[in-house]
Amino acid sequence: MDFRLQVFAAVANRLSFTKAAGELYITQPAVSKHIQELEENYKIKLFDRRGSKISLTQAGEILLKYSRTIFETYRTIDYEMSTLTKERRGALRLGASTTISQYVISPLLADFHLKLNDIKVNLRNGNTEHIENALLNNEIEIGIVEGQSKNPSIKYIEFLRDEIVLVCKRNHFLADYNNISFDTLEKLKFVTREVGSGTLEVIEHSLNNQNKSLQKLSIEMQLGSTESIKSYLLNSDCVAFMSIHAVSKELKNNELRVIDVEDLAIERYFYIITLQGSQNALVNLFIKHLAEYYNLKL
């Protein structure tokens, strides 16, 4: 039954029998057989099949919810039993928003692995909205995000301070300006992240505090990753608001320049997020490691 639930969860998460088979290293007929046996056991369909597309039925949604709870319980058992033998084994599902996963957290994860190499970390990458939804759906145990959103079901812990700066390519006509005004800002062409991005959310919040609107900016392009924005900047006359962590290499190599904007300072915290009232021993261990690595009091 446990393996059948794993097969079911893989199909439900990917909505694909083929992808689930690849993930579990079994054949597609074997996947179909396990799902069929589950449906016979519960005497109800778990998936609606429409041609090549599938979706969860109401029964499937219920089974997925409890499957995630079961798997989380197993992970907790594995970790807590291993601590009794001082081995500390387990699996941690971590989510990180795009800027953090690309530019902040990798050295920390490498250090964590060196000290606790029997704990396997599975990192999910996405924008802040995606990571919060993954936490709420019990697809991860802990996340690290950027942004201003405050969901009452989520516990937010301040992590690292970040600064959002306006950047352009080195030969942009504004590259040698010490600072610019808001009026000039509204005449520029921007490239931004997509809706749901924590960085975009923070920028909009900061502009609103200055009685300015993101909608008044001329947005030439919205792109789904920080790297694609940097590449676009290097090949256009656009500017972009970006995390200082994301552009540190380009600033050092003199590929991008920071433009100061009068009376505008955009600062934020990255946040560690967990579900309210649901923080297991392995999550606590990871948060402790975060605090020690960055010399913080969390």
CATH assignment of the domain containing 49: 1.10.10.10
CATH number, domain of 213, equals 3.40.190.290
Is 127 contained in some domain?
A: no
Instruction: Residue 253: give the domain boundaries.
Output: 163-268
Is 14 contained in some domain?
A: yes
- Residue 30, pLDDT score: 93
Which whole number is the average pLDDT over 206-215? 82
> Hey, which of 37-51, 108-122, 191-205 has the most confident mean pLDDT?
37-51
* Higher-pLDDT residue of 51, 157: 157
> Residues 235-245: pLDDT tens digits?
999 999 999 99
> Residues 279-296: pLDDT tens digits?
678 888 899 889 888 888
Is 133 contained in some domain?
A: no
pLDDT confidence bin for 86, thresholds 50/70/90: low
Is 138 contained in some domain?
A: no
Mean pLDDT of the chain: 88
- Residue 148, pLDDT score: 66
Is 218 contained in some domain?
A: yes
Which whole number is the average pLDDT over 184-199? 87
- Residue 139, pLDDT score: 86
Angle at 123 between CA 119 and CA 127, to 5 degrees: 155
Number of structural domains found in the chain:
2
Is 132 contained in some domain?
A: no
- Residue 37, pLDDT score: 93
> Residues 25-81: pLDDT tens digits?
899 999 999 999 999 999 999 999 888 889 999 999 999 999 988 888 887 787 777
Q: Which of 43, 67, 91 corresponds to the end of one domain?
A: 67
Is 129 contained in some domain?
A: no
Is 57 contained in some domain?
A: yes
- Residue 85, pLDDT score: 60
CA distance 143 to 128: 9
- Residue 2, pLDDT score: 86
